[in-house]
Chain A
Amino acid sequence: MSEKITRFFASRWGIILAGALIGLLAPLLQKAGNPANMGICVACFERDIAGALGLHRAAVVQYIRPEIIGFVLGATIAGLAFREFKARTGSAPLVRFILGVFAMIGALAFLGCPWRALLRLAGGDLNAILGLAGLTVGVAVGVQFLKASYNLGRSHSAPAVVGWVIPALMVGLLLLLVFRPQFAEGGPIFFSESGPGSMYAPLLISLGVGLLIGFLAQRTRFCTMGAIRDVILMRETHLISGVGALLVVAFVTNLALGQVKFGFAPQPVAHSSHLWNFLGMALAGLAFALAGGCPGRQLFLAGEGDSDAGVFVLGMIVGAGFSHNFALAGRPDQVVEGVLKVGGITPAGMVAVLLGLAVCLVFGFSMRQK
């Protein structure tokens, strides 16, 4: 029976089901309180967690997002239920950490992970086209490295406790969210009083949706980067059918909820600086390809015991700290007294994106071990 379920989830209908469910639930989370075109965004939500912990002090993006906790623990539950939870470690963790840092810097230059790029497009935000194009180019470059035998090396199995570190961390975050302790006067835990960080669906709804998606995504191996990579690398359309389902269902759901507004500017929590939308996501896409998974997939892998994916997740959270402390993240377009003020990234942000691309290329050319 368990084997039959596993085969179903590994089938095309399984992955379409997972994508469609994310496409349905994300706009509903927005309806329930999450920020616009940000029903789910792995990068933004990890950034909010970094802010809540005080790793950055951007007051508008600080909240412990239960969706992230749910994604990890949902994958843990699925991993345990289907005997796939397996603690493993040792595949170039430090390289994965740095890839996570720059993946986040790239994603925040664009203002979203691949999931949010799809959800932004499904809400009519045409800037997402630039982001998705950049993502595709970044992944395509990563595929060239894979073809030239780029490899981060083998992991090996480890004592169970290694696999439990990230799930335990998530339980800790959940406790901090529920009890909201304050560790110093005017200090963490921080919760935004305005801006995107102050907009959230009720805790139990967010957590429940996170657990459900985490469970399904662990079973189906849903991955947006992998979807693009597999098409380019081997004309394999399995994963991308899930991504397509996400996009279509999210668009239809947004239409039904009146959440679609076509155009480039101003769009919610987005900027229309086309070049940096493209390059930011190109950096993110390359980093995801070199690390073997999109931010969502890294959370699900971390949930089923893959501590190397866990290191990538921690890299992303630290990267979010740098991104906001050093003002590298994209600033949204704003309308001030009826005049559109186009956002974008600072010169420092531009340097950071280019530096990230250079670092990824160095890893791409040099990591060739068997």
Chain B
Amino acid sequence: MTTTVDARGLSCPQPVILTRQAIAAGAFPVEVLVDTVTSRENVRRAAEKAGLQVQVEAVGEEFKLTLTQ
């Protein structure tokens, strides 16, 4: 079952906090929607630190990160 985290419009560090909560809940894959490059890099860094695979897709001016184990 896919978990979706909508972190668009949220400022630092909310996207990372929400992502970490979703990772802790353990329902993979986790999809994270963000709207700034800063959030994209922060979420990517947090996910990689947690040992996850990260796929990034640009959706218009926003980004979708897919985190898998």
Q: Which residues of A contact B (CB under 8 A)?
A: 6-7, 10, 82, 84, 86, 88, 90-91, 146, 151-152, 154-157, 221, 226, 229-230, 233-234, 236, 238, 292-293, 306, 308
Cβ contact within 8 Å between B13 and A91? no
Mask for B1-23, Cβ within 8 A of A = 1, else 0?
00000001111111011001000
Cβ contact within 8 Å between A233 and B13? yes
Q: Which residues of B contact A (CB under 8 A)?
A: 8-14, 16-17, 20, 35-38, 41-42, 45-46, 49, 61
8 A-B pairs (CB sep. < 8 Å): A6-B41, A86-B36, A88-B9, A91-B11, A155-B11, A226-B12, A236-B46, A308-B11
Please pick, from B8, B17, B41, the residue contacting A154 in the complex, using a CB distance under 8 A: B8
Cβ contact within 8 Å between B45 and A155? no
User: Hey, which chain B residues are within 8 Å of A306, CB to CB?
Assistant: 11
Please pick, from A10, A151, A155, A236, the residue contacting B49 in the complex, using a CB distance under 8 A: A236
For residue B63, give the distance in angstroms from its CB to the closest CB of chain A.
Answer: 12
12 additional contacts (CB under 8 A) given A86-B35, A86-B36, A151-B14:
A7-B41, A10-B45, A84-B37, A86-B61, A88-B9, A90-B9, A91-B9, A146-B13, A151-B10, A221-B41, A233-B17, A236-B49
User: Hey, which chain B residues are within 8 Å of A88, CB to CB?
Assistant: 9
For residue A231, give the distance in angstroms from its CB to the closest CB of chain B.
Answer: 12
| Cα(A88)–Cα(B35), bound, Å | 11
User: Hey, which chain A residues are within 8 Å of B38, CB to CB?
Assistant: 84, 221
Report whether over half of chain B's contact residues are helix, strand or loop; otherwise say mixed: helix
Cβ contact within 8 Å between B13 and A154? no
Cβ contact within 8 Å between A293 and B12? yes
| Cα(A301)–Cα(B53), bound, Å | 29
| Cα(A91)–Cα(B46), bound, Å | 24
| Cα(A155)–Cα(B7), bound, Å | 11
| Cα(A151)–Cα(B13), bound, Å | 10
User: Hey, which chain B residues are within 8 Å of A221, CB to CB?
Assistant: 12, 38, 41-42
For residue B37, give the distance in angstroms from its CB to the closest CB of chain A.
Answer: 5
Cβ contact within 8 Å between A226 and B13? yes
User: Hey, which chain A residues are within 8 Å of B20, CB to CB?
Assistant: 234
| Cα(A156)–Cα(B10), bound, Å | 9
Cβ contact within 8 Å between A154 and B45? no
User: Hey, which chain A residues are within 8 Å of B49, CB to CB?
Assistant: 236
Cβ contact within 8 Å between A229 and B10? no
| Cα(A238)–Cα(B38), bound, Å | 14
Cβ contact within 8 Å between B12 and A146? no
Residue from B8, B37, B45 whose CB has the most chain A CB atoms within 10 Å: B37
Q: Taking CB as reference atom, which chain A residue is nearest B20? A: A234
Top 6 nearest A-B pairs by Cβ distance? A154-B9, A10-B41, A292-B11, A155-B9, A84-B37, A292-B12
For residue B46, give the distance in angstroms from its CB to the closest CB of chain A.
Answer: 7
| Cα(A306)–Cα(B46), bound, Å | 23
